[in-house]
Amino acid sequence: MHYLIGDVQGCCDALDRLLAEVGFSPSRDRLHVLGDLVNRGPASLQTLKRLRALDDAATCLLGNHDLHLLAVSVGGRRPHRSDTLDDILASPERQALLEWLRHGKLADTAHGWLLVHAGVVPQWDAARTLALAREVEEVLSGPGMADFLHVMYGNEPARWDEGLVGARRWRMVLNVLTRLRYCTPEGTLEFDTKDGSGVAPAGHQAWFDIPGRLTAGVPIAFGHWSTLGLQNRPDLLALDTGCVWGGALTAVRVDGGRREVVQVRCRQAQRPS
């Protein structure tokens, strides 16, 4: 059985209860976590250890909070006042856990679903999305990771161009895959609006509602957008259901015929920041 899971964000208790609810067995089942494994929740260290221990039974995407952890760990970003990452950074297992994390994926597939943390611009088809993700995965897993993490942040370039090279290219790919909510039909990104898709800024739409996007018809699952809530369409799954903000942690089984949605409520809600 293959299960997709939305943003955990350090809520390991909810993760354990969700896996128990679906009867997850590492010898039989496969878990696909859609990014933001850590931060804001109370047990980021425990969450990383839990997922890493699942070995090949779990594939984890990198979300913006996971990239933030990597950046903080190499001095490329200052900790935020709301971070809950100290347990990882102070752990004797820090090096092993961060090494495991930086080999995470930025896009993947599972039973015909394209998996990303945030979204895809209209100009990318599924194959291009996966290829661009692999480019940046090689940077993050290679010797140049620390150098890139020092220049990873920023909203420019705001629009995809095949001619982009180096850090600007990699930053653009990461911004699409880990931060995107709204964009224009031409693919210009917008990062200020975090509310649900009914309040799109002028000239923009939720990335998945852009007419003529090249991934139209490709089933896509993503997280990142807690204010959007659960979206369960035939070819779209939005699975960040705001566990850490008092919502639920959601899993969806995507093999075996009928789609199965399972949720558990979070026991310790944090305040959005």
Residues of the chain short of pLDDT 50, as ranges, are 271-273
Contacts within 8 Å (CB) and 24+ apart, 75-84: 75/150, 76/146, 76/149, 76/150, 76/151, 76/152, 77/149, 77/153, 80/273, 81/273, 82/40, 82/270, 82/273, 83/39, 83/40, 84/10, 84/38, 84/39, 84/40, 84/41, 84/42, 84/44
Determine the Cα–Cα distance for residues 102 and 96; give it in Å rounded to an integer. Answer: 10
**pTM of the shown model:** 0.95
* pLDDT of 272: 43
Contact 152, 179 (CB under 8 A): no
Determine the Cα–Cα distance for residues 192 and 177; give it in Å rounded to an integer. Answer: 16
* pLDDT of 130: 98
Chain-centroid distance, C-alpha 148: 19
* pLDDT of 269: 52
* pLDDT of 201: 87
* pLDDT of 250: 98
Report the 3 state secondary structure along the chain. Answer: CEEEECCCCCCHHHHHHHHHHHCCCCCCCEEEECCCCCCCCCCHHHHHHHHHHCHHHEEEECCHHHHHHHHHHCCCCCCCCCCCCHHHHCCCCHHHHHHHHCCCECEEEECCEEEECCCCCCCCCHHHHHHHHHHHHHHHHCCCHHHHHCCCCCCCCCECCCCCCHHHHHHHHHHHHHHCCEECCCCEEECCCCCCHHHCCCCCEEHHHCCCCCCCCCCEEECCCCCCCCEEECCEEECCCEHHHCCEEEEEECCCCCCEEEEEECCCCCCCC
Contact 183, 205 (CB under 8 A): yes
Q: CATH number of the domain at 2-265, please?
A: 3.60.21.10
Burial (0-12, 13-18, 19+ Cβ within 10 Å), 167: middle
Determine the Cα–Cα distance for residues 183 and 160; give it in Å rounded to an integer. Answer: 11
* pLDDT of 194: 80
* pLDDT of 271: 47
Extents of the domains making up the chain: 2-265
